[in-house]
Structure 1
């Protein structure tokens, strides 16, 4: 079946996606790309962030649809749009928290100089094994909270976020206790 704009009804596309038809998902991706990415771009996001959020939303939609448990009570576009909104809201909250953490912390994980790296490495070594892993995964391997939660067997992403926050705080305290601020000022 060839997908042409307007030639396919939404019910049919949804049924095909529920059956795991990736072509139908591609069609959906193209059809709503502008609408979904505009949501992020007009709300302080970049084009790249918009694309990432949209792709993530489609993955969520795909997983729910193919599980057979999704009953649509609205248009697909409305449903996907609300997923995008929720994901973007979470991302904005995360960014806000990060910028607040950076303002609050005397020491940020800014490892531009070798000296800073050495000091941070020494302090990270003094943390517990779980804290070490959480911080390394998050800051150095740039893993998502979801991946960290799965890798370390946490109940969910909120547990991982809380653990990261506490570990970061502990690291900040260690650094402040053991080194003068002068070491961090170039």
Structure 2
């Protein structure tokens, strides 16, 4: 296997040598695809993000003052990670508070960044993705164990049937998110 240095590859990218793009896809796309598919994405998402990152990289390397201060693999991975997190935030698939979990102090390449979430973490992430109204209801009922009579007064519900209906609708929101996540 022939290897190419990061600087030589950057020179080829600057001159838009087609072989340099093939090298990027061959060596750098697989770990990025793994990261994205392990973090709420599909392979198509990984391809889109990688293409966007290539465009960002090309723009950067064409700047006269550009200086690569990390390995190209690390730099490209960092661009992809930031693009993916932005997409998750913009599409409301990742609560803003969770972004800090995925952003490190240093941009280093780690082949396996995704760990299996505990049951509590999964439930919390599902609840963070439903409406605020339903978050308030479900937290009051299940986390704070607030009696339904008190909750009915707080929410101005007329009867227990309305309360049960609201609870059902909120639980359905969580179930829908869970099913969507499990089908990915």
Name the TM-score, length of structure 1 as normaliser: 0.47
For the pair shown, which has the larger CA radius of gyration, 1 or 2? 2
